[in-house]
Structure 1
Amino acid sequence: MTDGLLDRALRVLAAFHEDAAELSAAQLAQRTGIALSSLHRLLATLVAQGLLMRVPGHRYAIGARLWELGELSPLSLRLRETALPHMMRLYDATGENVHLAVLDGSTPATSDALFVGRVTGRASIATISRMGSREPLHTTGVGKALLATRDEPWLRQYFERALLPQTTRSLVTELALREDLDRTRARGYAVTREEMTLGNMSFAAALGRVDGLPPVAIGVVVHLERAEGRRLAPLVVQAARELRAALEASQSH
């Protein structure tokens, strides 16, 4: 593909998201600014390459080839595959939703928590996050655990962005969040209390630096009525420690 064609193709792929998993050509033209005449040719190419697929209603969705390529990422081949047994052990010990997330963004001001793994069960509470979703750093347990690993220059840039509330309990001022991050560093794990979803609480811990991977955190989300921090927090910290050791061991082989 030429640079111009590649740019247009990426604009088309970026138009899809969780709330718009299937889009018509007209919707894609509106979202990308690409003329319909050019867009139809581009869509045909993307379908032929398996990057998009046609679905009922004259709409398009992300294709299997794009998923196949994504599975070659170190976030899948190395991180998620290594993490799954540790996530399952944490789930078995808690019975709660287990999340695995990485810090992702081209700049601090555009960074989010990218969820790359999730284990849940029938007794687990419903959560907004899903594998592949992006959630704010300042309102999620894994996000705050990741924020607590950042240095001061990085944080200064991060706080240039507006911190939008997800609930009435969200921390949205720099002072409040900095104080919370200080507490996170002191105890070794992050806590959120109804900051992402009312009625829910989370405990999360960062893994520390692992060569070849972005910053990683693991955590659990639990209903307030079952939020036994003295029991859950040590389990999360232990899971983070053991997962980091496993990742380092896999890198040395």
Structure 2
Amino acid sequence: MIMRKVQIDHRRPRYAIDSIDHALRTLHLLRDTGAVRVSDVALKLGIAPSTAHRIMAMLVYQGFAVQDDSRRYLAGPALWAPVMTSQRTATLIEVARPILEDLSREVGEIINLSVRVGVHSRVLLTVGDLDPTADDDRTGRVYPAHSSASGRALLALEPDALLERLFVGRSAKAYGSALTKADLDELATEIAETRRRGFAVCDEEVQRGVAGVAVPVSTPDGSACTIVVLLPHGRLKQLRRDVGKIDLLFAAKRRLSESLVGAVGNNGLVE
């Protein structure tokens, strides 16, 4: 079999957009050097420090960078997340959308559909009364699984030994996901509570002022996703005490699980 040569045109586009070029080159720096400062980005790209600072702020906002205690910027979870291109993902979103939209109207909150990819939780879909100026649409965002409601709900479906493999040891340190013993013990306690009550809770651990309540949904191919209710921190206690709304969340879980079983017979949820 003759392999066809792949031709890549590296010429600068005629109508290049400098701001996008700068952001993409900064992603290369984060990926290949491990850590950068604003001054490094400004020097490497030949731009003003104020421009470099704005670029880094947007990359942090979108999860492509994080800032450590010494004010260096490191590669964020969105930069490490693997590409998802399967028909399974498209079918999952298609089946879940009307169910999540109904739930959003019923509980009056924004709803996410999320999955776990290793140590990360990824948002596949956001529905509800979204305000684009308030960072409501989280579609595509990637969050640490151990601190997000979605990630905790999905980790609760796994054996306890998986926590050690994901968050302890040389591999976890290499990928920046290692937890201290105290943090791991806290996560184990939270997962035990999640299994007991049937839903996971996140209260400002991912984003200041934002809380989440998530239920896991098993899918026919043996994997799982979550339905997450997002709400302001101040409304979390009220939601947890509202038996009617919690029942609606579990009803949406059952409806999605049953609908996914039906989707297998139509166009196949499993690749």
Q: Distance in 2 between matches of 1:178 and 1:188?
A: 15
Are residues 32 and 224 of structure 1, via their aligned partners in 2, closer, same or farther at CA, if it must alter by over 3 Å?
A: closer
The size of the alignment, in residue pairs, is 195
CA contact (8 A) 1:125 1:223 kept: no
In 1: Cα distance, 2:130 partner to 2:194 partner: 30
Candidates 222, 233, 237, aligned match of 1:224? 233
2:120–2:151 contact (8 Å) kept in structure 1: yes
Query: CA–CA distance in 2 between the matches of 1:128 and 1:4?
Result: 44
1:101 aligns with 2:114: yes
- TM-superposed CA distance for 1:74, in Å, is 1.5
Query: Against the structure 1 CA distance between its residues 82 and 2, is the aligned structure 2 distance closer, same or farther, given a 3 Å change threshold?
Result: same
Q: TM-score, normalised by structure 2?
A: 0.60
Offset, 1:226: 2.3
CA displacement at 1:134 relative to structure 2? 1.2
Percent identity, please: 23
State the AA in 2 paired with 1:142.
Answer: S
Of the three residues 151, 165, 168, the one matched with 1:143 is: 151
Q: Residue 125 of structure 1 contacts residue 222 of structure 1 at CA under 8 Å; is this kept in 2?
A: no
- Superposed CA offset, 1:207-230 (max 9, x none): 02x233632111111113322213
CA–CA separation in structure 2 for the residues paired with 1:156 and 1:164: 9
Once superposed, what is the RMSD of the aligned Cα atoms?
A: 3.8
Residue aligning to 1:134: 142
1:239 equivalent to 2:252? Answer yes
Q: Contact (CA 8 Å) 1:102, 1:115: kept in 2 or not? A: yes
- Indicate yes or no: 2:114 matched with 1:84: no
Q: Which amino acid aligns with 1:217?
A: T
Hey, what does 1:158 align to over in structure 2? 166
1:212 counterpart = 2:226 = no
Change in Cα spacing, 1:211 to 1:193, as seen in structure 2 (3 Å) is: same
Residue 189, structure 1, aligned to residue 199, structure 2: yes
The 3 A distance-change label for structure 1 pair 91 and 5 is same
What's the CA shift string for 1:30-50, capped at 9, x where partnerless? 5677xxxxxxxxxxxxxxxxx
Q: 1:180 aligns with which of 182, 190, 199?
A: 190
| Structure 2 letter corresponding to 1:229 | R
In 2: Cα distance, 1:196 partner to 1:142 partner: 11
The Cα of 1:73 is off from its aligned counterpart by 2.8
1:203 aligns with 2:213: yes
In the alignment, residue 187 of structure 2 is paired with which amino acid? L
Distance 1:28 1:3 in 2: 30
Label 1:176 to 1:92 Cα distance change in 2 as closer, same or farther (>3 A).
same
Runs (5+) with no aligned partner, structure 2: 11-18, 33-82, 267-271
Q: Distance in 2 between matches of 1:118 and 1:197?
A: 16
Which structure 1 segments of 5+ residues have no match? 13-20, 34-68, 106-110, 166-170
In structure 2, C-alpha distance between the alignment counterparts of 1:241 and 1:125, rounded to whole Å: 33
Distance 1:172 1:133, change over 3 A: farther
For 1:141 and 1:179, how far apart are their aligned partners in 2? 14
Would the aligned equivalents of 1:204 and 1:233 in 2 still touch at CA under 8 Å? no
